[in-house]
Amino acid sequence: MTAPLQKPKRKNPILRTRLPVPPPSARSRYALGLLRGAAQGRLELQVCRDCGTVQYPPREVCRRCLSDRLDWKPQAGDGELVSETLIRHSLELFFRERAPWRTGLVRLPGDVTVVAHVHSDVPRPPAKVRVRAHLDRAGQAVLVALPEHDTPNMADDRIMREMTCDPKFRKVLVTDGKTAVGQALVKALVNAGADPIWVGNAEPWKNFPGFDELKKIPQVTLLNLDVTDQRSVREIAGEVAGRVDIVINNAEVHRTYGISARYGTDAARAEMDVNYFGLLRLAQEFGPALKARGADGVNSAVAWVNLLSIYALSNYPPHGTFSASKAAAHSLAQCLRAEMRPTGVRVINVYPGPIDDEWNQLLLPPKLAPAGLATAIVNALKAGTEDVYPGDVAQDWLARWRENPKALELEAANP
């Protein structure tokens, strides 16, 4: 059984930090079908629409009937480990630095054999396993064989620790502590074992509701961080960027206007300044330090979380300028992900529907509770997913957007 992870020792600043090297990331385009499900934590395999054959590795046509009508469909992943090996000598630096590394052949229903990373709590073959699709440190989809039933401390397994962004024993920055979401995040992170947690506050002269409670949490340190102020971001980065393992950027401005409901650009500018330029400032000041620490042991720098909005995918006209600022941030987050990916630091984009806060007062339920959003974010870190659509509204919009973006555009105009 996996031994529980012990709190890592303080890092010796004299020793050289190991630079991150990604695992192999080359794939054929069809193989990237696995990535779509894995980004949300789902195992999907190719299934032939004509004859029902399931296949892996991905192919251009069905291995049985040669049809090209292939769909990626969710699979249960229950299988049997039929053979295994412990790799002590790998051709790639990533695995050499982490050897020995356990891998195996797993038989899935439908005469499918997959090559998978194998969790250390899986018994010797033959053994029942659950195959899951995970993102590895290259941001690529890989298959992992987990034990048939959950085991104590299974998230602390070496291989899992390389797949996920578990906050346990990691140092986290939450950029805005004044909102209900920010405070819920801090509590969820404390429960997940994060320590310390730096919490930003752009207006330290005000005493926001909940701040007294935040100050009592021993893991929490408050920082004067204003994401609209380059100098403030730089100063805070100088203080903590070299130690932060997870950045959660939840700072946002949300006003409820379209184009004609409010004359002028002041509100829209404020939204852009926090929601878009705030991300850009943070990424420029904190990004380099995180990227350098992508392989820094069991508590390496590991994730960058952006609180976006489901309205980043398609504009919600009653909150039109807010949607636009989140769309800009969504686009920039893709750029950040591209730059972070080779270093193993995962960019997690969170696309909630309306959060149950003052700015969504006029919207009818369902609305996402701040605690629910915080749980979704911490769960994404633990699972290692990179696209999160928490709550019913987000799921509904996502499904409509995927099925017919033009229809959603029209429906959103007449909610």
Partner 1 sequence: MSRRASYDGVVVTTPVTIPYVRFSIRAAHWWIGRALGELVKQSGIAKERIDGFCVSSFTLAPDTAIGLSEHLGLSTRWLDFIPLGGNCGVAGLRRAARAVQSGDAEIVACVAGDTNAIDSFRQGTSNFSRFARDAVYPIGAGGPNQSFAFLTDYYMRTYGAEPADFGKMCVAQRANALKIPWAMFKKPLTLEEYLASRMISDPVRLFDCVMPCAGAEGFLVMRREAAEAAGLRYARILSTIERHNAFQNDPVQFRGGWAVDRDELYGQAGVKPDDIDFVETYDDYPVINLLQFEDLGFCAKGEAPALVRANTLTVDGSFPFNTSGGQLSVGQAGAAGGMLGMVEAIRQLTRQTVGGQVPDAKLGLVCGFGMINYDRGLSSGAAILAGA
User: Could you list the residues that contact partner 1 (CB under 8 A)?
Assistant: 23-28, 31, 56-58, 82-92, 94-95, 101, 103-105, 107, 111, 113-117, 125, 136, 138, 140, 142-143
Minimum CB separation of residue 384 from partner 1 in Å reads 15
Minimum CB separation of residue 63 from partner 1 in Å reads 8
Minimum CB separation of residue 346 from partner 1 in Å reads 16
Q: 23 preceded by cis ω (within 30°)?
A: no
Task: Output 60 or 71, the one with its CB closest to partner 1.
Answer: 60
Which residues are CB-neighbours of 18 under 8 A, at least 6 positions away? 97, 295, 296, 297
Task: Output 143 or 197, the one with its CB closest to partner 1.
Answer: 143
Token couple for 137: 């440190």
Task: Output 87 or 154, the one with its CB closest to partner 1.
Answer: 87
**Would you give the distance in Å from CA 341 to the centre of its chain?**
12
Task: Output 132 or 319, the one with its CB closest to partner 1.
Answer: 132
Yes or no: say if 347 and 333 are a contact pair by the CB < 8 Å rule.
Answer: yes
Task: Output 64 or 400, the one with its CB closest to partner 1.
Answer: 64
Minimum CB separation of residue 414 from partner 1 in Å reads 45
Minimum CB separation of residue 246 from partner 1 in Å reads 25
Minimum CB separation of residue 103 from partner 1 in Å reads 4
Q: How far is residue 12's CA from residue 23's CA, in Å, rounded to a whole number?
A: 26
Task: Output 23 or 77, the one with its CB closest to partner 1.
Answer: 23
Minimum CB separation of residue 113 from partner 1 in Å reads 6
Laid out side by side, the sheet with 70-74 consists of: 54-55, 44-48, 70-74
Q: Which residue spans within 164-307 are E strands per DSSP?
A: 172-174, 197-200, 220-223, 246-249, 303-307
How many CB atoms are closer than 10 A to CB 50? 13
Token couple for 350: 């969170």
- How does strand 127-135 pair with strand 141-147? antiparallel
Task: Output 67 or 85, the one with its CB closest to partner 1.
Answer: 85
Task: Output 105 or 188, the one with its CB closest to partner 1.
Answer: 105
Minimum CB separation of residue 291 from partner 1 in Å reads 21
Minimum CB separation of residue 159 from partner 1 in Å reads 10
**Which DSSP symbol is given to 369?**
-
Laid out side by side, the sheet with 346-350 consists of: 220-223, 197-200, 172-174, 246-249, 303-307, 346-350, 387-388
Encode burial over 130-164: b for 16+ CB neighbours within 10 A, e otherwise.
bbbbbbbbbbbbbbbbbbbeebeebbbbebbbbbb
Task: Output 126 or 204, the one with its CB closest to partner 1.
Answer: 126
Which residues are CB-neighbours of 331 under 8 A, at least 6 positions away? none
Q: Look at phi and psi of residue 8 and say left if phi exceeds 0, alpha if psi is from -120 to 50, else beta.
A: beta
Placement of tokens 């850009």 in the chain:
280
Task: Output 98 or 262, the one with its CB closest to partner 1.
Answer: 98
Minimum CB separation of residue 75 from partner 1 in Å reads 15
